[in-house]
Amino acid sequence: MKGLLSIVFLSALLVSCGSKVLEPDDEIVCSLCDNWNEPQKPFRLYGNSWYVGTSGLSSILIADGEHLILIDGGLPQSAAPIEANIRAAGFDPLAISAILVSHAHFDHAGGIAALQRLSGADVFTSAAAAKVLRSGNLQDDDPQYRVGHEKTGFPAIASVRFVGDGEVMTFGGVSIRAVYTPGHSPGGVTWTWESCVLGTCYDIVYADSLTAVSADGYRFSDGRAANQLIASASVIADLDCDILLSPHPFFFGMHAKLERRDDGNPFVNNVACTIYAETALDWLRQRLRAESGLDVPAPDIRIGS
């Protein structure tokens, strides 16, 4: 009888210590959330770099031997499809050792708390964004800040480490550099790394958002965000950049490029970062012109200015 009880106890212990499962947080509701979270099959971008996000929210997996690095986590409801995509690509999400964050908005940081609980990964971002991620609340210097957690908040992340501007982190054979690019948010970070296949290496840039998007009532012409966007666009334009990625796949033309994959790798384009930066500055010009309320030409803003 004593032996039987021991077996029952051991069986119960094994069940309680079974493989970890994703524990998603409550969904965030917004006008675009359902469209952003439409499913997208994972695919290899180049070499060790994979797209594992949803149709409208990027999440990038860098796989180097035993090391898995994830960039961005979408909405809270994106965590489950991201996990499923990582598995579908042939990797174990429990093996993620680091999660990197571009900027601390609900549509890119919302799923990170759940993915961190699942994997136990360290979370890295800029010094300014780390404070936001730990609290789950935007600060009042963010153009998208609104009074009230429920409007701009997301699940707080238990443990966040910050990296300095230009700092390089190495995971196995992968070195990833953090480049501060504020403006869209005060703590924005662009991440860069090199991926090689059979001696052919490309510089990959996960360029942070550069759009002049804000809460109602915010004026880019009154704050420092416009100057930050101009400076960040210049920084991104000057990066070594063969493959451009960004937090929203629309901005690097993902869906159109996937339709052309039979003709080679359409993601390789060494002027894509410059085009991305120039397009962002054009949007900023239009925003500043609209804020002026006058029928005047848009201000002259150029790369390097």
- Give residue 14's pLDDT band: very low, low, confident or very high (50, 70, 90): very low
**Tokens 């979408």 correspond to what residue?**
74
pLDDT at 233 over 60: yes
% residues pLDDT > 70 (the chain): 88
pLDDT at 150 over 60: no
Across the chain, mean pLDDT equals: 90
Determine the average pLDDT of the residues in 175-187. Answer: 98
Provide the strand spans (E) within 1-64.
Answer: 43-46, 49-51, 60-64
Percent of residues in the chain assigned helix, strand, coil, to nearest 5? 35, 20, 45
Which of 12 and 281 is assigned the larger pLDDT? 281
> Whole-model pTM?
0.91
pLDDT at 302 over 70: no
Active site residues: 103, 105, 107-108, 184, 218, 248
Q: What are the DSSP calls for 269-288, one per residue?
A: -TTHHHHHHHHHHHHHHHHH
pLDDT at 19 over 80: no
Return the pLDDT at 258: 97
**Which tokens belong to 275?**
């085009």
Determine the average pLDDT of the residues in 39-43. Answer: 98
pLDDT at 10 over 90: no
Determine the average pLDDT of the residues in 185-200. Answer: 97
Return the pLDDT at 9: 41
Residue 176 near residue 64 (C-beta atoms within 8 A): no
- Whole-angstrom Cα distance, residue 152 to residue 184? 14
Return the pLDDT at 5: 41
pLDDT at 229 over 90: yes
Return the pLDDT at 275: 98
Determine the average pLDDT of the residues in 238-245. Answer: 98
Question: Considering all CA atoms of the chain, what is the largest pairwise distance in Å, rounded to the nearest integer?
Answer: 90
pLDDT at 301 over 60: no
- Whole-angstrom Cα distance, residue 154 to residue 133? 8
The domain ranges of the chain are 31-292
Cα 185 off chain centre by:
13
pLDDT at 154 over 80: yes
Inter-axis angle of helices 79-88 and 112-119, nearest 10 = 50
Any residues with CB less than 8 A from the CB of 48 and at least 6 apart, and which?
62, 63, 64, 174, 195
Determine the average pLDDT of the residues in 253-280. Answer: 96
pLDDT at 248 over 60: yes
Any residues with CB less than 8 A from the CB of 103 and at least 6 apart, and which?
109, 125, 129, 184, 185, 187, 188, 189, 208, 209, 247
% residues pLDDT > 90 (the chain): 81
Return the pLDDT at 262: 87
- Whole-angstrom Cα distance, residue 127 to residue 189? 10
pLDDT at 92 over 60: yes
Residue 123 near residue 113 (C-beta atoms within 8 A): no
Of 59-63, 72-76, 169-173, 238-242, which gets the smallest average pLDDT? 169-173
Return the pLDDT at 305: 36
Of 68-82, 119-133, 211-225, which gets the smallest average pLDDT? 211-225
Return the pLDDT at 300: 54
pLDDT at 143 over 70: yes
CATH code: domain 31-292 is 3.60.15.10
